[in-house]
């Protein structure tokens, strides 16, 4: 599934590009039912209510995110807008039968910017494991370089000036039903079994085109 970085202004709760049980046993159907069906849905619904009648109504989601980030002094709609974006991006970062090592140009770039895939793997794992409290870990692209970034709560690389390529949600609700406190096990499972390198590659192409 080609993952476009732009989400439309309709603030739609888009379903993941696979059935809710398709990521089992690595991510349970129950988790998807709550995480997508309740958490993500609430961000979308609450965003709609929040921007109704305001100057942000009808604006593209990315516009709302940048505007309400307000250089870190977050305005009220930021949380819902960014989380709506982040979660759609997250579902599209995974696929059934995913994970493992990428190949081709993506692998070459990871080896160029991290020395080896293993070094990237370790750095991404560490970022995800050490983001304290709620947040996300990302592979991002900026200035023709790949880097690992971790962000708190709803913050994402868009507001930090880089192109997101891959993300893992490390809010506790993302893993608690399946892994309880064992976040490192969740991260490893994500990397080994869920990452959609196809999505990452197509986002990288889009990022390079946008930077050209």
Partner 1 sequence: MAIRSVASRRTLTGLKETSSRLLRFRGIQTFTLPDLPYDYSALEPAISGEIMQIHHQKHHQAYVTNYNNALEQLDQAVNKGDASAVVKLQSAIKFNGGGHVNHSIFWKNLAPVKEGGGEPPKGSLGGAIDTHFGSLEGLVKKMSAEGAAVQGSGWVWLGLDKELKKLVVDTTANQDPLVTKGGSLVPLVGIDVWEHAYYLQYKNVRPDYLKNVWKVINWKYASEVYEKECK
Q: Taking the CB of residue 139, how many other CB atoms lie within 10 A of it?
A: 29
Q: How far is the CB of 4 from partner 1 (least distance, A)?
A: 27
The reply, when asked if residue 87 is annotated as ligand binding, is: yes
Integer-rounded Cα Rg, in Å, for the chain is 16
Asked if residue 70 binds partner 1 (CB under 8 A), the reply is: no
Among 55, 71, 132, 209, binds partner 1 (CB under 8 A): 132
Number of residues that bind partner 1 (CB under 8 A): 22
Among 5, 9, 42, 60, binds partner 1 (CB under 8 A): 42
Cα separations in angstroms, 131 against 1, 11, 150: 29, 28, 6
The reply, when asked if residue 169 is annotated as ligand binding, is: yes
Rounded to the nearest 5°, which phi and psi values hold at 79? Answer: -55, -50
Q: Contacts with partner 1 in 139-178 (CB under 8 A)?
A: 152-154, 171-173, 176-178
- With beta carbons less than 8 A apart as the criterion, state whether 14 and 30 touch: no
Sort strands 135-142 and 163-169 into parallel, antiparallel or unpaired: antiparallel
Q: In what order do the strands lie in the sheet with 163-169?
A: 145-152, 135-142, 163-169
Q: How far is the CB of 205 from partner 1 (least distance, A)?
A: 33
Asked if residue 22 binds partner 1 (CB under 8 A), the reply is: no
- Residues of the shown chain interacting with partner 1 in the complex, contacts defined by CB under 8 A: 28, 34, 38-39, 42, 79, 132-135, 152-154, 171-173, 176-181
């Amino acid at each position: 599934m080609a993952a476009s970085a732009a989400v439309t202004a309709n603030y739609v709760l888009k379903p993941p590009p696979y059935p809710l049980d398709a990521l089992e046993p690595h991510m349970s159907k129950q988790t998807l039912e709550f995480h997508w069906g309740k958490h993500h849905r609430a961000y979308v619904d609450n965003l709609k209510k929040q921007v109704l009648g305001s100057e942000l109504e009808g604006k593209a989601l990315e516009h709302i995110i940048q505007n309400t980030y307000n250089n870190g002094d977050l305005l009220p709609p930021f949380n819902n807008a960014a989380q709506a974006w982040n979660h759609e991006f997250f579902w599209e970062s995974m696929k059934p039968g995913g994970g493992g090592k990428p190949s081709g140009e993506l692998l070459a770039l990871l080896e160029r910017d991290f020395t080896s895939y293993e070094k990237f793997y370790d750095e991404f794992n560490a970022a995800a494991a050490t983001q304290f409290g709620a947040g996300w870990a990302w592979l991002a692209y900026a200035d023709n370089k790949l880097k690992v970034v971790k962000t708190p709560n709803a913050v994402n690389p868009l507001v930090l000036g880089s192109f997101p390529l891959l993300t893992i949600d490390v809010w506790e609700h993302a893993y608690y039903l399946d892994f309880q406190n064992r976040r490192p096990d969740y991260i490893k499972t994500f990397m080994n079994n869920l990452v959609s390198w196809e999505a990452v590659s197509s986002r990288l192409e889009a990022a390079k085109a946008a930077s050209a």
